[in-house]
């Protein structure tokens, strides 16, 4: 399981708007939740972990791989799912979108086809292989975005509010899928009930990590902060 080290990390957009301020944390647990108000820095923190965002100062490493220096190697280890799956779906059909992540992996076409078929079946999308990806339902799109990341077999999956745009039924479906994953998962969420059974929850406020605990006291701290 990857060990993430965030040391002295600050990040500012346009050199003035500081969104993270001197964050220090080590993450090695299998299920880690991240919560905070809008603008608290939690999504920027998540994006730091696979090099989508580079720190203005400080370092982020994944098993010793520096996101600034070893970005490609880090992204092979760390998959990322966005809030809006339309931002992640890049190919015309469902099967093509899942296959897209396997390019440059040195696999034969047969190996790609086999892995894509197995992944679609695992997430209930095998009946939609040739379906236009952007015409799927909201829940199916989120499953596709997840499948397109997981087909590459990352060690860590970072998910930035994957249930925010979904209705309760589809949000529950995504939560069930995530709960059954063998990968290490870091989940950014406003849906606090998803954090039951997690190993650890990080609470961000105004760019700082203000609470780091097991779910019950961390969620209680966050609720009090938001009151």
- Supply the pLDDT for residue 35: 97
CA dist., res. 40 & res. 203, Å (int): 9
Residues contacting residue 82 through CB under 8 Å, at least 6 positions apart: 88, 145, 160, 162
How far CA 39 is from CA of 13, 29, 103, in Å, comes to 12, 25, 35
Residue 168's pLDDT is what? Answer: 85
Q: How far is CA 195 from the centre of its chain?
A: 14
Q: What is the largest CA-CA distance in the chain?
A: 55
Q: Would you state the pLDDT for residue 175?
A: 87
Q: Which of 42, 27, 1, 16 is nearest to 200 (CA)?
A: 27
Residues 205, 227: Cα–Cα separation, whole Å: 13
Alpha carbon dihedral 54, 97, 42, 215, in 10-degree steps, equals -130
Global pTM value:
0.93
For domain 4-91+154-226, give the fold: Rossmann fold (3.40.50)
Per-residue tokens: 204: 């961000």
Low-confidence ranges of the chain (pLDDT < 70): none
- According to the model, what pLDDT value does residue 179 have? 87
Residues β-bridged to residue 25: 6
pLDDT at res. 23 = 97
Q: Which two tokens stand for residue 169?
A: 């039924």
Helix (H, G, I), strand (E, B) or coil at 122: helix
For 199-211, the pLDDT digits (tens) are: 999 999 999 999 9
Please tell me the predicted confidence (pLDDT) of residue 81.
94
Question: Distance between CA atoms of 162 and 174, rounded to whole angstroms?
Answer: 8
CB atoms within 10 A of CB 165: 16
**Domain parsing of the chain, residue ranges:** 4-91+154-226
How many C-beta atoms surround the C-beta of residue 106 within 10 A? 7
Instruction: Give the helix/strand (H/E) hosting 60.
Output: strand 57-62
């Amino acid at each position: 399981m990857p060990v993430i080290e965030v040391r002295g990390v600050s990040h500012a957009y346009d050199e003035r708007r500081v969104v993270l301020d001197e964050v220090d944390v080590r993450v090695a647990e299998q299920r880690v939740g991240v919560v905070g108000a809008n603008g608290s820095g939690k999504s920027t923190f998540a994006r730091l972990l696979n090099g989508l965002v580079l720190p203005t100062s400080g370092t982020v490493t994944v098993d010793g791989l520096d996101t600034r220096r070893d970005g490609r190697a880090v992204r092979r280890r760390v998959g990322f799912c966005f809030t809006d799956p339309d931002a992640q779906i890049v190919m015309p059909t469902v099967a093509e979108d899942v296959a897209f992540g396997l390019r440059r992996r040195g696999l034969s076409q047969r190996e790609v086809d086999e892995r894509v078929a197995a992944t679609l079946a695992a997430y209930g999308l095998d009946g939609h292989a040739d379906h236009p990806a952007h015409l799927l339902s909201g829940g199916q799109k989120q499953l596709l975005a997840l499948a397109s990341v997981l087909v590459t077999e990352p060690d860590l999956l970072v998910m930035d509010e994957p249930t925010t745009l979904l209705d309760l039924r589809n949000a529950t479906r995504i939560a069930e899928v995530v709960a059954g994953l063998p990968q290490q998962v870091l989940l950014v969420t406003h849906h606090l009930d998803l954090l039951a059974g997690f190993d650890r929850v990080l609470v961000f406020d105004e760019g700082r990590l203000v609470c780091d605990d097991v779910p019950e006291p961390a969620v209680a701290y966050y609720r009090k902060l938001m009151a």
